[in-house]
Amino acid sequence: MCGRYVSTRQPDDLATLFHAEVPPAEQALPPSWNIAPTQDVRAVIERVDRDTGEIRRTLRAVRWGLVPSWAKDPAIGTKMINARVETVHEKPAYRRPFAKRRCLLPADGFYEWDRVPARDGRKAYRQPYYIHPEDDGVMALAGLYEFWKHPDSDDGESWLITCTIITTEATDAAGRVHPRMPLTIAEKDADAWLDPAVEDPDRIRKLLADPTARPLDARPVSTQVNRPGPDSPGLLDAVDLP
């Protein structure tokens, strides 16, 4: 799975990279070196503007943990931070978003954990690794988003926009740490991935890129990452393993 990731680029830089509108200053999210589920994350979304009929591509904040439109309780989102590529096109919670509401989640890299058994008087623990492109470029994680409105509310501000990250079997550097990893979208396929008019499941699935086509590097980092609170550039520093 993908349970934490890093996104530190400036909104202006991301908007330029993904050809999206820059979000208003009050809606721009700060950089984060330890993004956790249920937090707001940056997403590139393409939708038809209801007022003008124009297609707009925006960089906006959405909450990580997809809440299906039919859900009674948004707490279900904590269990839906990832969608498996093998079944995403057929699962009830993901089927329609996969066809109509796809997004890109810009990331510098992501974390995965290796379980270290107890030995030499040390307790068992989870050792985090930071996995990222060797060229330190931005990863466009393949995501889905959905709208949810509280059934008992008539307030237009009650709409919640949430997302999930599509994952696949891990190989390369990530595969040495954890069996799953996030999928990415290649730059040449970004337009089709974001286009809500592209609805054929077979065509959509072909847009999902193998992230290992871009060489990845994995390095052990501080176990501070194991908690969602710490958030600083130092979390990416390599550590020596015992």
- Residues marked active site are found at 2, 112
Q: Give me the amino acid identity at 104.
A: L
Mention every residue, 6+ apart, whose C-beta is less than 8 A from residue 163. 41, 43, 62, 63, 64, 65, 66, 103, 105, 143, 144, 145, 146
Share of the chain residues as helix, strand and coil, in percent rounded to the nearest 5: 25, 40, 40
* 83 closest CA partner among 58, 108, 66, 61: 66
